[in-house]
């Protein structure tokens, strides 16, 4: 492929005499352990990685361009397809940026449900991370245990929103619809079973000496480097930086929940693994608190020109029908301005920069994907390691190429 070769450094030639000198190995983009379509140009000396150049863009679909041609409410479905393991987090970042521009007030029930769903989604996302991370390193069976838990969460998300992978559940001004009957019970049932699953993971993975020797001391990144490279989320907390936007820049009422921020200090694959495993417990705690807070109430903001009216109202009230028609046909105007809203997604800081010029379509939407930034630090972590450890490091960063390439 001409384009792939063109993306080499102009200074680096392809070396193919492995016995005499260094060699260049093109890893990916179809390699399963690259978690999608990531290609790495690895320069190897024997089995040691001397250089590593990530090549991304294979999944680029021009989403940021597309936002400019869609109305604000149509943009929500695009966000689902970015970080496809954490779509609700993407929805939340996008709708909150728009709500900030519109100065909307969100009812309490909607906020609680947002927290509840986001934390469930975080658990689901971490389940995929754990399963694939173990699969990469060679522990096959963990994958099935993880996906069993994830399946339960996806079923819950499906029952609430109608979509498993692309829920689009959060809307500007509230939620698509209220939780279905019986959701609370299903969720409590899940919470009852989940600690046992966590124990299973601890027995299968955490206490496993092979696992520990594959991950300890691998892919170390220091605290200073991690901040310098802009790492966020569990990857940053694995390097000993105590930063969690849910606590430090709280949104959707996270400041009222009781949870801890796990921090590990070694900065290696094992530390990042430990942080995410401990985060599962914290998410579990938040879900439990959110469930206890669920009280009946409105789930949409009181803003008839922005939020779609109830079906029932449309049949009875003329103005509701007019508003519905206007929102669907023409969209709603958002006051001019610009905001940057950042949330703590499952992989790190997910920021949305949104600029409005007053019309129904945004002038510019930019997503700061945590995976994009975290991947940039991969060369630093992988140089000096073995080829097989590069796979472990990629797994520990928890990247999603849909978000990197956008």
User: CA-CA distance, 270 to 381, in Å (whole number)?
Assistant: 13
Report the phi/psi class of residue 138: left, alpha or beta, with left for phi > 0 and alpha for psi in -120 to 50: left
Contact flag: residue 94 with other proteins (CB under 8 A): no
Closer Cβ to other proteins, 3 or 185, answer by number: 3
Out of 52, 78, 85, 342, the residue judged to bind other proteins by CB under 8 A? 342
- Which residues are within 8 A (CB) of 255 and not within 5 positions of it... i.e. 6 or more apart? 247
Out of 23, 50, 108, 386, the residue judged to bind other proteins by CB under 8 A? 108
On the 0-12 / 13-18 / 19+ scale of CB atoms within 10 A, 101 is buried
229, 284, 328, 340, 374 from 356: Cα distances, Å: 30, 37, 19, 12, 28
Contact flag: residue 376 with other proteins (CB under 8 A): yes
Closer Cβ to other proteins, 35 or 355, answer by number: 355
Closer Cβ to other proteins, 86 or 356, answer by number: 356
Q: Would you say 284 and 258 are in contact if contact means Cβ atoms under 8 Å apart?
A: no
> What does DSSP assign to residue 300?
B
Out of 14, 141, 180, 340, the residue judged to bind other proteins by CB under 8 A? 340
x/- site string to other proteins, residues 288 to 317, per CB under 8 A? -------x-xx---x---------------
Contact flag: residue 264 with other proteins (CB under 8 A): no
User: CA-CA distance, 233 to 244, in Å (whole number)?
Assistant: 7
Contact flag: residue 170 with other proteins (CB under 8 A): no
Shortest Å, Cβ 332 to other proteins: 16
Applying CB under 8 A, which part among 117-125, 135-143, 241-249, 321-329 lies near other proteins? Answer: 241-249
Element (H, E) at 367: strand 364-368
Closer Cβ to other proteins, 226 or 280, answer by number: 226
Applying CB under 8 A, which part among 28-36, 118-126, 211-219, 366-374 lies near other proteins? Answer: 366-374
User: CA-CA distance, 286 to 191, in Å (whole number)?
Assistant: 11
x/- site string to other proteins, residues 188 to 207, per CB under 8 A? --------------------
Shortest Å, Cβ 26 to other proteins: 16
User: CA-CA distance, 176 to 329, in Å (whole number)?
Assistant: 18
User: CA-CA distance, 51 to 108, in Å (whole number)?
Assistant: 51
Cis upstream peptide for 29 (omega within 30°): yes
Binding site for other proteins (CB under 8 A): 1-3, 6-7, 9, 56-57, 60, 62, 64-66, 69, 96, 99-101, 103-109, 111, 227-230, 232, 241, 243, 248-253, 295, 297-298, 302, 337-340, 342, 349, 351, 353, 355, 363-364, 366, 368, 372-373, 376-377, 405-406
């Amino acid at each position: 492929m001409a384009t792939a070769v063109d993306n080499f450094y102009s200074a680096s030639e392809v070396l193919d005499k492995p016995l005499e000198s260094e060699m260049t190995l093109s890893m990916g983009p179809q390699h399963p352990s690259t978690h999608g379509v990531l290609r790495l140009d690895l320069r190897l000396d024997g089995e040691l990685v001397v250089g590593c150049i990530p090549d991304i863009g294979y999944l680029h679909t021009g989403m940021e361009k597309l936002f400019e041609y869609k109305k604000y409410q149509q943009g929500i479905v695009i966000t689902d397809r970015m970080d496809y393991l954490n779509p609700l987090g993407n929805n939340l970042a996008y709708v909150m940026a728009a709500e900030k521009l519109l100065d909307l007030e969100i009812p309490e029930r909607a906020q609680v449900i947002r927290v509840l769903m986001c934390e469930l989604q975080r658990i689901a996302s971490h389940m995929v991370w754990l399963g694939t991370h173990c699969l990469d390193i060679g522990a096959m069976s963990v994958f099935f245990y993880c996906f069993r838990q994830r399946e339960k969460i996806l079923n819950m998300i499906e029952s609430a929103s109608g979509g498993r992978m692309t829920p689009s559940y959060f809307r500007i001004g509230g939620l698509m619809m209220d939780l279905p009957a019986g959701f609370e019970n299903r969720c409590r049932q899940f919470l009852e079973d989940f600690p046992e699953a966590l124990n299973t993971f601890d027995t299968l993975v955490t206490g496993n000496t092979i696992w520990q020797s594959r991950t300890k001391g691998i892919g170390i990144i220091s605290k200073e480097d991690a901040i310098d490279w802009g790492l966020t989320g569990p990857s940053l907390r694995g390097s000993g930086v105590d930063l969690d936007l849910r606590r430090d820049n709280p949104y959707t009422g996270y400041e009222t929940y009781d949870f801890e921020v796990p921090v590990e200090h070694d900065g290696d694959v094992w530390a990042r693994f430990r942080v995410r495993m401990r985060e599962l417990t914290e998410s579990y705690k938040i879900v439990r608190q959110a469930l206890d807070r669920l009280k009946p109430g409105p789930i949409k903001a009181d803003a008839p020109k922005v939020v779609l009216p109830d079906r029932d109202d449309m049949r009875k009230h003329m103005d509701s029908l007019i508003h519905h028609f206007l929102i669907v046909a023409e969209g709603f105007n958002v006051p001019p301005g610009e905001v940057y809203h950042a949330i703590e997604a499952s992989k790190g800081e997910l920021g949305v920069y949104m600029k409005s010029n007053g019309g129904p379509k945004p002038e510019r939407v930019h997503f700061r994907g945590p995976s994009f930034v975290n991947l940039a630090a991969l060369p630093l972590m992988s140089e000096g390691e073995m080829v097989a450890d590069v796979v472990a490091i990629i797994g520990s960063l928890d990247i999603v190429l849909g978000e990197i390439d956008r």
